[in-house]
């Protein structure tokens, strides 16, 4: 089993979201998420074109073995790899669907989408239908908090409270909770304010978050 690859990027195929990474003279083709692709350096060669001069990188990998093929899927960190493996435990989610979901929703955003029941947001991933997205929510709602407690800690809540403006007494606590959750996912105060502009303070926090994510995921 290949757990990681450490080497230089030899080739990038952005259309296929795939790269070739050269390790000790051997080139491995790896399908990567959009987040990982964005973090990789552009291939660079020596003046005579015979040697790579780009900096080395490490890609965490998952190997999918089939009767007719062996495919490698790559991730920029262990967190993304762990979330991918968790997605593969969902009935109906195969290697390609898992990559599609993570390319649309990085781990922290996927955690929020699942915890708020936003199956519609997950279904926006290419090749992922409504039924599959609903299964992701149903089967991972209890698993994600256990495997990724860093997304649901008191520290994350305190960080969220520091990232958003002071609470307005006229607003409901549900609005405050929704702001905290969105800030913990890494959205800026301006993004949160724009997404929640037309939110109903009388709604429950989950409904407010789902509505805000619908706006944020379109951007």
Residues 112 and 137 in one domain: yes
Domain that residue 192 falls in? 153-216
Per-position b or e across 42-53, b if 16+ CB within 10 A of its CB = ebeeeeeeeebe
Q: Do residue 29 and residue 41 come from a single domain?
A: yes
pLDDT in tens, 36-47: 998 899 898 888
Domain with residue 43: its CATH number is: 2.40.50.140
For the chain, the C-alpha Rg in angstroms (whole number) is 20
Q: Which residues contact 161 (CB under 8 A, 6 or more apart)?
A: 180, 183
Which one has a higher pLDDT value, 50 or 70? 70
**11 and 69 inside one domain:** yes
**68 and 82 belong to one structural domain:** no
| Cβ(85)–Cβ(134) below 8 Å | no
The total of other beta-carbon atoms located within 10 Å of residue 188's CB is: 12
| Pair (93, 123) in one structural domain | yes
Whether 86 shows a pLDDT value over 50: the answer reads yes
Token look-up 């109903």 returns: 200
- Which of the listed residues 102, 124, 147 is the one where a domain comes to its end? 147
Indicate if 69 and 92 belong to the same structural domain. Answer: no
The answer to whether residues 127 and 158 belong to one domain is no
42 and 87 housed in the same domain = no
Tell me how far apart the alpha carbons of residues 216 and 143 are, in angstroms, rounded to a whole number: 25
Final residue in a domain of this structure, among 131, 147, 163: 147
Question: What CATH number corresponds to the domain at position 113?
Answer: 1.10.150.20
Model confidence at 219, in pLDDT bands (50, 70, 90)?
Answer: low
Domain-ending residue, one of 119, 147, 175: 147
pLDDT digits (tens, 9 = 90+) for 153-165: 766 545 544 544 4
Could you tell me if 100 and 50 lie in one domain? Answer: no
Number of domains in the chain: 3
Counted residue by residue, the chain has a size of 219
Q: Is the pLDDT of residue 166 over 80?
A: no
Q: Is the pLDDT of residue 8 over 80?
A: yes
Does residue 52 sit in the same domain as residue 88? no
pLDDT of residue 98 exceeding 50, the answer is yes
Q: Are residues 176 and 143 in the same domain?
A: no
Say whether both 103 and 48 belong to one domain.
Answer: no
């Amino acid at each position: 089993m290949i757990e990681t690859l450490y080497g230089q990027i030899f080739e990038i195929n952005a259309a296929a979201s795939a790269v070739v990474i050269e390790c000790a003279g051997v080139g491995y083709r790896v399908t990567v998420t959009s987040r990982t692709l964005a973090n990789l350096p552009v291939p660079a060669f020596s003046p005579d074109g015979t040697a790579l001069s780009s900096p080395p990188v490490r890609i965490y990998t998952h190997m999918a073995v089939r009767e007719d093929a062996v495919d490698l899927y790559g991730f920029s960190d262990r967190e993304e790899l762990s979330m991918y493996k968790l997605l593969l435990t969902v009935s109906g989610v195969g290697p390609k669907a898992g990559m599609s979901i993570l390319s649309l929703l990085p781990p922290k955003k996927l955690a929020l989408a699942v915890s708020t029941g936003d199956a519609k947001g997950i279904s926006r991933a290419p090749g992922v239908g409504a039924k599959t997205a609903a299964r992701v929510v149903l089967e991972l709602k209890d698993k994600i908090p256990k495997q990724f407690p860093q997304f649901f800690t008191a520290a994350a809540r305190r960080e969220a409270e520091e990232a958003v403006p002071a609470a307005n007494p006229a607003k409901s606590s549900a609005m405050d909770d929704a702001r905290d959750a969105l800030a913990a996912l890494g959205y800026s105060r301006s993004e949160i304010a724009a997404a929640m502009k037309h939110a109903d303070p009388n709604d429950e926090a989950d409904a407010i978050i789902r509505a805000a994510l619908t706006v944020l995921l379109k951007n």
